[in-house]
Amino acid sequence: MNNRYAKKQLIQLYGPECFIEKLHLRHDKKIHYTSVAQMQKMKQLTYHHILERQYGGKSTIKNGALLSRENHIWFHRQPESVRSALNKKFKKYKACKVVFVDTPPTHIRTKPFELNLNKVPYNRAHMKKETKQLLDEDLER
């Protein structure tokens, strides 16, 4: 898998947003851009290897994080201890991210939900009376 394909997969799973911005991990001053084009270029998402390529890290969804170009440059200027802590936070975020699917699992039966707008609001006394009548009818049979 190459960086471009892995980046597309990450965007599908986690949305088109930088992990550093999403997790509020950068607290320094924001950069002032000289033009809109420069801002757009620096906000482009890049694929970040959590385990660097030089140490055997591959371009996979598991080993990747989405960072804007600006935050990617900032990330690599940090000391090794800070980079390691940030990478751990990326992994933790990816591990606890809930992914919603369109179709329910096949082994779970689902019952269609019916909404009756003409029905009177819930009345505890009325429900108690109905339940008692149903029980009495069942006992008489």
Look at residue 42 and tell me whether its pLDDT is greater than 90.
Answer: no
Q: Residue 40 is inside which H or E element, if any?
A: helix 36-43
Residue 31 is assigned to a structural domain of this protein: yes
Residue 32 is assigned to a structural domain of this protein: yes
Residue 108 is assigned to a structural domain of this protein: no
Q: Decide: 23 and 82 in contact? Cβ < 8 Å.
A: no
Distance of CA 5 to the CA centre of its chain: 19
Q: Where are the alpha helices (DSSP H) in 62-123?
A: 69-76, 80-96
Domain tally, the chain:
1
Residue 102 is assigned to a structural domain of this protein: no
- Of 38-47, 52-61, 72-81, 98-107, give the lowest mean pLDDT range: 98-107
pTM, 2 dp: 0.64
For residue 140, what pLDDT is reported?
A: 78
- Of 4-18, 27-41, 68-82, 123-137, give the lowest mean pLDDT range: 27-41
Residue 131 is assigned to a structural domain of this protein: no
Residue 84 is assigned to a structural domain of this protein: yes
Residue 130 is assigned to a structural domain of this protein: no
Residue 141 is assigned to a structural domain of this protein: no
Residue range of the domain that includes 62: 3-96
Helix axes 69-76, 36-43, angle to 10 degrees: 60
Look at residue 99 and tell me whether its pLDDT is greater than 60.
Answer: no
